[in-house]
Amino acid sequence: MLMSAAPAVKPKNLTEYYAALEAYEKQGITHEGALRSAFQNLLAETGRRTGWTLIPELVLGSIQPDGTFRDEYFLNRGYWEAKDTNDNLEAEIRKKIAKGYPLTNIIFEDTQRAYLYQNGQVAMQADLTKRAQLTNLLITFFSYTEPAHEDFSSAVEDFKQRGALPEDFHASGV
């Protein structure tokens, strides 16, 4: 598994995540539509520091993950799928896999637990109620680079160093 530089996971963002979940719990809110916003905010902030942009609900053919991360070259770098805490997470993951969700770099989570798939298999499981495990999950997710993307990024860097990027790369700010 190829990785890029590890992202900074800010303690403030983790504190905000847990505070949001606690506020929802005090209100008796348990449905995915509300709970996922806490994780979405955490992912978006961490992704921003990595150079990835979170695009919610992006349609990718016949699927629509809750979040798709793209880098500065518009390459899909990772995905996120939230489930309700009352759902059977493993069963929901099997359904998403059957629908064709990419297993290159995707987090499936239900605010309590998460499964990170990379390279087609489970790379890790995390207890999201434990700050250290959540931090490790985020670092592992945002550090991952698919081999094809690593080759592309290396080629772009080589062209940049030689001052030989194609004109459309310069126009897009790359």
Q: Given this model, what pLDDT does residue 157 score? A: 59
**Per-residue model confidence (pLDDT) at position 51:** 93
Phi-psi region of 74 (alpha: psi -120 to 50; beta: other; left: phi over 0): left
> At 123, which CATH number?
3.90.1570
- Per-residue confidence (pLDDT) for residue 83, from 0 to 100: 94
Q: What pLDDT, on the 0 to 100 scale, is given for residue 86?
A: 87
Which residue, chain included where needed, has tokens 């847990």?
A: 18
Q: Which domain does 104 fall in, by range?
A: 2-171
Residues with pLDDT less than 50, the chain: 1-3, 170-171, 174
Q: What is the pLDDT of residue 171?
A: 47
Rounded Cα–Cα distance for residues 66 and 81 (Å): 5
Q: Give every CB contact of residue 140 below 8 A, 6+ residues apart in sequence.
A: 116, 118, 123, 124
Q: Residue 69 has what pLDDT?
A: 98
Q: Are 64 and 80 in contact (CB under 8 A)?
A: no
Q: Please check whether residue 138 is in contact with residue 7, taking contact to mean a CB–CB distance below 8 angstroms.
A: yes
pLDDT of residue 160: 55
What pLDDT is stored for residue 167 in this prediction?
A: 59
- pTM exceeds 0.85 for this model: no
The number of domains in the chain is 1
Three-state secondary-structure class, residue 174: coil
